[in-house]
Structure 1
Amino acid sequence: MKVLHVIPSIAPVHGGASRAILEMTKALQEQGVKAEIVTTNDNGSDLLDVPLQKCIEYEQVPVWFFPRFSPPIASVRGFVFSSQLTTWLWRHIAEYNIIHVYGMFSYVSTLAMAIARIKNIPYIIRPQGQLGEWALQQRTFKKQIYITLIQRANLNCSRAVHFTSEQEQEETSKLNFKSASFVLRNGLFTPPPIPEAGYKLRQLLKVPEDEPVILFLSRLHPKKGLDYLIPALGKVANRRFTFVVAGSGSPEYEDTIDTLLVSAGIRDRTYRAGFVSGEMKDLLLQGADLFALTSYSENFGIAVLEAMAAGKPVLATSGVALASVVKQYQLGYVAQLDVEAIAQFVQDFLNSPQQAKEMGDRARKLIAEQYTWERIATKMVEIYTDILIPK
């Protein structure tokens, strides 16, 4: 079986989806599937420094990178146009048994589905939350036109739509697409434990060894709900804690975060880590006491999974798809998108450290049992097989 994953970008700046596609491809290869990725060198406002127009080994995965058209207008760059990728897909797409397309509102994703339709190659589309209610409320008119004129046909002709949560599936069902769908969550390759991570993190932060550390780790974007989390932390400023904000975003939004921290009175107890990866990211996840993600909408939330794998309780809002798992298995706290509600759960965490530790222990066990990439890839192979060889 030969599978081609198509995605506009795998740059880390775009968040968890970039990591997930690499890990899924790697796990599929371990299942005996010949899986490759085709993408562009997009890196947000920048470009990745990678060899172009040939298959290279990128983080242990075969990846084809093609140059992104890079005009000065940000909205045009964001559409991720690539004429060279167009030519390559037209010539080579028929060499693959099935195409797995990621994303909805980009040139690369739309092109891949259109060519697959013309060449009669079966394809699956993974919307990455872009058909959820919150996402469609942003730039509503443009997206409605795009769906009506272009993507509805692409979606209806897909063999299946791949969702990563029941919440995403339910919200998208209201759009009445004809294609079948399935839910298959992301998995996780768990990094090795860092000895004395809690102590090492507090040394870095220059705080006492028993200081509670609350971690936000995600792409910095208005939908992540920091405009609720930061004011909520301000309401419990009489309690001892250090807040860590890890991630990067636009300069304008980073300035907004600084303003929020000052207004909430917690700027002096907040550590701005910037974008993190590798050992620094692992240290933050393993050394913190509580992971908080208070998004307006999150079709999955890979950082939540990473925090749970590190044995941390999670504070999530109901818009985070994994919140249902957190609630079902008592792995943390699930709040409405409300400052007072979030503040109350932070209080509960600070008041009951032993209970929080028990939540984290349950989370680590759940990830080890249900969210390994081996398990996810095995199921994905079954889905591919059912599409290619109907029973």
Structure 2
Amino acid sequence: MRVLHVIPSISPVRGGPSQAVLAMVKALQAYGVEAEIATTNDNGLSLLNVPLNQRTEYEQVPVWFLPRFSPPLKEFIFSTAITQWLWQYLRNYDIVHNHYIFSYAPTCAGAIARHLRVPYIVRTIGQLSPWALNQSRLKKQVYTFLIEKHNLNCAAAIHCTSASEAEDVRRFGIQTPTITLPLGVNQPSYMPDAKHKLRYLYGIPIETPTVLFLSRLHYKKRPDLLIRSLNLLAVQNYKFHLILAGTGEPDYVKYLKNLTVSLGLASRTSFVGFVMGNDKQLLLQGSDIFVLPSFSENFGIAVAEAMVAGLPVIITPGVQIAPEIAKANAGLIIEGEEDILANAIAQLLTSPNLRQKLGENGQSFANSQYSWSAIAQNLSTVYKSILRIS
């Protein structure tokens, strides 16, 4: 069984979806499924320095990189080269797994797959949530009418990562069968002295609790809300240090930095940029609280990573795995308002026992639910079922 995964970009600057598809294909290969990725060389405002038009190993995964048409139009990422490649090679695969909607590469792959009678799955990546549909609303309505609704209705299945995402698919009027499989998280290597190392690295007093935001610095994720909420606590003389880990559009990052200065929080905030590997694990294992007050997340891979590391999480209902986290008593689910978020953070800052309890619950829950090996096994079963009826 040969499976082709199509995604507009696997650049780290594109966030969780890029990380997820690489891990997914790697897990499928370990399970014995012959899986590959077709994508572009997009890297946000720049281009990835990768071989083009040939099968190459990237992050231990076989990938075909095709040149994008520059400059990119947000996540649409047009590429004539990937069109030509799909016409030439897609017939060599048994099934196609598309990631993203309202984007050129997966839309094109769906159309060509239909023409060649190759079954395909679509992972919507949260793009059908009410908040996401309200962004560039008119463009999405036109795109839906002309292309995307037909693309979704003709798919063999829609891959959702939470029950809430599956509900969004139904509300959008799509009758295609859905499969609900979460994403996975790799098990981290334990760093026994992470809290001391983190504080030494960023000059944080040893007794000061750290609040971690680890995601793209994007208005959808609302790091500005987190900063303003912490300002309410600073006025009340709470001790904390905020770490913002991630990259974003230069103007938005500048806005966040200016916000910390204007609120007098600059000395209590560290902007550490994009992190990965041991640097990322140091943040996850060395911090005290993880906060993601996002408007919309279909899964929230960073939330799962925080839980696996034993870090208590505070999230909003827009993170679509929030109901599962609440049921497992693995974090605090709060509305995205300054005073409510401030109160939740204060609750954890003043209660080490509650932090420990939520962290332990979250770690147990994530370890049981977000195993890549189990997800790969389930995906393989789904692929085989689709091929049997195709």
Common topology (TM > 0.5): yes
Tell me which residue corresponds to 2:152.
155
Tell me which residue corresponds to 1:281.
280
Q: Write the mapping of 1:223-372 to structure 2, written as runs, cut at 5 A.
A: 223-237=220-234, 238-372=237-371
2:8–2:75 Cα contact (<8 Å) kept: no
SS at match of 2:37: strand
Deviations 1:224-280 (A, max 9, x none): 012321111111111111000000100111122123223433222001101111111
SS at match of 2:272: strand
Tell me which residue corresponds to 1:218.
215
1:42 maps onto 2:42 in alignment: yes
Match for 2:46: what amino acid? Answer: D
Equivalent residue in structure 2 for 1:111, among 99, 108, 111? 108
Equivalent residue in structure 2 for 1:164, among 161, 164, 187? 161
Deviation, 1:181, is 0.9
Deviations 1:285-324 (A, max 9, x none): 1100110000011111000000001000001011111222
In structure 2, what is the Cα distance between the partners aligned to 1:183 and 1:332? 22
1:134–1:296 Cα contact (<8 Å) kept: yes
In structure 1, what is the Cα distance between the partners aligned to 2:187 and 2:17? 17
1:129–1:168 Cα contact (<8 Å) kept: yes
SS at match of 1:369: helix
In structure 2, what is the Cα distance between the partners aligned to 1:386 and 1:375? 17
2:330–2:365 Cα contact (<8 Å) kept: no
Tell me which residue corresponds to 1:22.
22
In structure 1, what is the Cα distance between the partners aligned to 2:84 and 2:227? 47
1:122 maps onto 2:119 in alignment: yes
Tell me which residue corresponds to 1:191.
188
2:214–2:244 Cα contact (<8 Å) kept: yes
In structure 2, what is the Cα distance between the partners aligned to 1:169 and 1:259? 39
Tell me which stretches of 4 or more aligned residues in structure 1 moved more than 3 Å. Answer: none
Deviations 1:4-27 (A, max 9, x none): 000000000010111110111011
1:230–1:261 Cα contact (<8 Å) kept: yes
Deviation, 1:78, is 4.5
Deviation, 1:208, is 2.0
Match for 2:109: what amino acid? Answer: A
In structure 2, what is the Cα distance between the partners aligned to 1:141 and 1:106? 15
1:186–1:371 Cα contact (<8 Å) kept: yes
In structure 1, what is the Cα distance between the partners aligned to 2:14 and 2:341? 26
- Decide which moves more: 16-25 or 224-233: 224-233
Q: 1:174 to 1:78 in 2, by over 3 A?
A: closer
Tell me which residue corresponds to 1:59.
59
Deviations 1:21-40 (A, max 9, x none): 01110111111100000000
In structure 1, what is the Cα distance between the partners aligned to 2:84 and 2:38? 12
In structure 2, what is the Cα distance between the partners aligned to 1:169 and 1:256? 35
Q: Write the mapping of 1:63-142 to structure 2, written as runs, cut at 5 A.
A: 63-71=63-71, 74-75=72-73, 78-142=75-139
Match for 2:281: what amino acid? Answer: D
1:314–1:326 Cα contact (<8 Å) kept: no
Match for 1:30: what amino acid? Answer: A
Deviation, 1:330, is 1.2
In structure 2, what is the Cα distance between the partners aligned to 1:42 and 1:279? 25
1:233–1:264 Cα contact (<8 Å) kept: no
In structure 2, what is the Cα distance between the partners aligned to 1:235 and 1:52? 50
In structure 1, what is the Cα distance between the partners aligned to 2:204 and 2:115? 60
In structure 2, what is the Cα distance between the partners aligned to 1:191 and 1:47? 30
2:41–2:68 Cα contact (<8 Å) kept: yes
Give 5+ residue unaligned stretches, structure 2.
none
Deviation, 1:283, is 0.5
Tell me which residue corresponds to 2:387.
388
Q: Could you state the TM-score of these two structures normalised by the residue count of structure 2?
A: 0.97
SS at match of 1:215: strand
In structure 2, what is the Cα distance between the partners aligned to 1:229 and 1:172? 30
Tell me which residue corresponds to 1:209.
206
SS at match of 1:274: coil
Deviations 1:176-222 (A, max 9, x none): 11211121100111121123011100101212222100000001111
Match for 1:361: what amino acid? Answer: E
SS at match of 2:353: helix
In structure 2, what is the Cα distance between the partners aligned to 1:180 and 1:122? 13
In structure 1, what is the Cα distance between the partners aligned to 2:368 and 2:147? 41
2:290–2:314 Cα contact (<8 Å) kept: yes
